[in-house]
């Protein structure tokens, strides 16, 4: 019989593997361990050795303690993550040079899978893997976009736009707004050459710019960017790839902008429009621009907008009976738990708030560790506590508050 510690390690290896976007075979290859052994460890049918744990941790770019300890352990520290920005910055800066003809791009099907895997890593908030793998992927896609012809070339421009978006994912998490802006500019440059995918991709890029300016509380800029995104969709219909998803997501972004400004009428309007489009699109299109758009995301935004409007009781009510579909994006689930923590903290439910923060850390640990709203919420909980809580103290130490 496996002991409780081995079962915990087995579960944590599986959780971190899935968050990193690895299959069991891919992790076994990356860690240079036996696939058979990995499957046995993950099912708690074999005790993992320290060497096995260390090999898996190296492949996952995490501290080995993240696999052996149930307490909060950081993935890569801030200094290590920031040090990875150099190659990514260069890859974004050198976009206008001729292609590197020493690079032999893989097949289009393989590049599709590579971009999808990279975006899964991004949506799992594994910032270390993004920064280490993205420069080479960008160079390969850049070369293919310039050397290929015909429909393959048009499609690879779209893939390049999706990959540039990941530069924004990394940069915004690292609080590097200038690098984020460059990545999104490159995204638009590639998207413009992506054929019938261009309108949806360019509108999606404007939505991402909105999220960046929301952090700065520049709502005038947010409204202008949202309107720009809508204009890119002029003349599109349900046959235009990604157009409905982009339009729906822009409505969700507009609902948050309105909620921040306490415009209840506009908030309701945009949520209603997003719901209408979600019903038309249906669930299961979460990988379209990696927004997770659908009925679930609309319900998540009903909670979010209530929190932003200062109505925590309404937020908790909106989240009632919310169930996340299997395979939904970890970063979206994590952000929902962050919003629920904010709501419960505002209601004086401090333990409930901490439990929500703990759930956010379980689903997307790097996001929880670095998100400014988590730090703000934890600081408020620490300031309000009358008796020291070791549980809260551990979480606060983990995020360096």
Q: What is the pLDDT along the chain (401 residues), one digit of tens a residue?
A: 344 455 678 878 887 777 666 889 999 998 889 999 999 999 888 999 988 998 898 887 676 777 876 544 345 566 677 778 899 999 999 999 999 889 999 999 999 999 999 999 999 999 988 999 999 999 999 999 999 999 999 999 999 999 999 999 999 999 899 999 999 999 999 999 999 999 999 999 999 999 999 988 999 999 999 999 999 999 999 999 999 999 999 999 999 999 999 999 999 999 999 999 999 999 888 889 999 999 999 999 999 999 999 999 999 999 999 999 988 999 999 999 999 999 999 999 999 999 999 999 999 999 999 999 999 999 999 999 888 889 999 999 989 87
Quote the pLDDT of residue 3.
47
- End-to-end CA separation in angstroms for the chain: 40
Count each helix (H run) and each strand (E run) in the chain, helices first.
22, 0
User: Tokens 């439990």 — which residue?
Assistant: 355
Question: Token pair of 51, please?
Answer: 């060497």
Residue 27 domain-assigned? yes
Q: DSSP letters of 231-249?
A: HHTTT--TTSTTHHHHHHH
| Three-class SS of 40-108 | HHHCCCCCCCHHHHHHHHHHHCCCCHHHHCCCCCCCCCHHHHHHCHHHHHHHHHHHHCCCCCCCCCCCH
User: Per the domain annotation, does 52 fall within a domain?
Assistant: yes
Q: How many residues does the chain have?
A: 401
272 within some domain: no
**Distance between CA atoms of 177 and 163, rounded to whole angstroms?**
18
* CB neighbours of residue 14 within 10 Å: 16
Residue keyed to tokens 């890593």: 121
Contacts of 382 (CB under 8 A, 6+ apart): 392, 396, 401
- Any domain includes 36: yes
Structural domain includes residue 40: yes
Rounded to whole angstroms, the Cα distance separating 63 from 67 reads: 8
Instruction: Write the burial class of residue 40 (CB in 10 Å: 0-12 exposed, 13-18 middle, 19+ buried).
Output: middle
Whether 15 is covered by a domain: the verdict is yes
DSSP conformation class of 371: -
Is 362 part of a structural domain of the chain? no
What is the predicted pLDDT for the residue at 94?
A: 94
**Look-up of token digits 């235009």:** 240
The model carries a pTM of: 0.82
Q: Is 365 among the domain residues?
A: no
Question: What pLDDT, on the 0 to 100 scale, is given for residue 122?
Answer: 94
Q: What is the pLDDT, as a whole number, of residue 71? A: 46
| CATH number of the domain bearing residue 59 | 1.10.260.40
> Which residue range forms the structural domain that includes residue 53?
1-70
Confidence (pLDDT) at 15: 73
């Amino acid at each position: 019989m496996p002991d409780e510690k081995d079962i915990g390690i087995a579960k944590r290896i599986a959780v971190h593997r899935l968050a990193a976007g690895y299959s069991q075979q891919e992790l076994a290859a990356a860690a240079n361990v036996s696939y058979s052994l990995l499957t046995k460890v993950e099912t708690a049918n074999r005790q993992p050795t320290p060497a096995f744990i260390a090999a898996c941790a190296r492949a996952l770019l995490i501290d080995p303690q993240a696999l052996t300890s149930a307490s909060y352990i950081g993935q890569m520290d801030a200094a290590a993550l920031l040090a990875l920005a150099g190659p990514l910055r260069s890859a974004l800066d050198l976009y206008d040079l001729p292609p590197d003809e020493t690079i032999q791009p893989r097949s289009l099907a393989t590049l599709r899978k590579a971009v999808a895997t990279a975006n899964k890593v991004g949506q799992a908030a594994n910032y270390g893997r993004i920064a280490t793998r993205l420069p080479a992927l960008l160079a390969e896609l850049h070369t293919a976009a310039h050397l290929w012809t015909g429909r393959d070339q048009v499609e690879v421009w779209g893939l390049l736009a999706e990959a540039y978006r990941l530069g924004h994912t990394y940069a915004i998490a690292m609080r590097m707004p200038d690098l984020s802006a460059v990545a999104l500019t490159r995204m638009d440059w590639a998207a413009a050459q992506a054929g019938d995918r261009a309108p949806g991709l360019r509108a999606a890029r404007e939505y991402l710019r909105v999220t960046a300016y929301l952090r700065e509380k520049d709502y005038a800029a947010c409204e202008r960017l949202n309107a720009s995104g809508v204009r890119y969709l002029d003349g599109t219909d349900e046959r235009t790839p990604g157009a409905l998803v982009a339009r729906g997501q822009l409505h969700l972004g507009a609902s948050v902008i309105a909620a921040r400004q306490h415009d209840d009428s506009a908030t309701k309007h945009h949520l209603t429009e997003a719901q209408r489009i979600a019903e038309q699109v249906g669930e299961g299109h979460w990988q379209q621009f990696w927004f997770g758009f659908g009925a679930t995301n609309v319900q998540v935004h009903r909670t979010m907008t209530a929190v932003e409007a200062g109505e925590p009781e309404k937020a908790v009510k909106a989240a009632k009976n919310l169930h996340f579909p299997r395979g939904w994006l970890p970063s979206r689930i994590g952000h929902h738990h962050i919003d629920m923590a904010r709501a419960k903290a505002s209601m004086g439910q401090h333990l409930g708030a901490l439990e929500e923060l703990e759930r956010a850390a379980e689903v997307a640990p790097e996001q929880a560790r670095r998100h400014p709203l988590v730090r703000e919420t934890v600081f408020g909980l620490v300031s309000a506590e009358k008796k020291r809580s070791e549980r809260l103290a551990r979480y606060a130490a983990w995020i360096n508050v």
